[in-house]
Amino acid sequence: MSGEYSKPVRMSTSRMEAAITDPAELVMDPADVSAIAHATATALLSRGQTSEDVQVREALVRFADEHGLDTLADLWSRAHPLSLPGALWRLYLVRAVVHHNPHDTAQLFQKGVDGLHTIDALVAGAPDPLSAEGFSDVLDDILMGAFDGELAHALERAAAVATAVSAGAISLALSDDREASYLTSRSLKWSVIAQELEGCASRARKGTLS
Q: Supply the pLDDT for residue 6.
A: 39
What whole-number distance in Å separates Cα of residue 71 and Cα of residue 103?
26
Q: Give the residue-averaged pLDDT of 152-173.
A: 96
* Beta carbons within 10 angstroms of residue 86's beta carbon: 24
Nearest to 97 by CA among 182, 201, 1: 1
Percentage above 70 pLDDT, the chain? 87
- Regarding predicted confidence, which is higher, 161 or 120? 161
* pLDDT one-digit tens code per residue, 62-71: 999 999 999 8
Where along the chain do its domains lie? 13-206
CA 29 centroid distance within chain: 26
Q: Give the residue-averaged pLDDT of 150-159.
A: 97
pTM of the model: 0.85
Residue 25, CA distances (Å) to 34, 75, 76, 200, 205 in order = 13, 11, 11, 23, 31
Q: Supply the pLDDT for residue 23.
A: 47
Mean pLDDT of the chain: 88
Nearest to 173 by CA among 187, 183, 186: 183
Contact by Cβ (8 Å): 61, 140: yes
Contact by Cβ (8 Å): 90, 200: yes
What whole-number distance in Å separates Cα of residue 208 and Cα of residue 193?
19
Nearest to 64 by CA among 145, 9, 7, 137: 9
* pLDDT one-digit tens code per residue, 105-136: 999 999 999 988 887 778 999 988 899 999 99
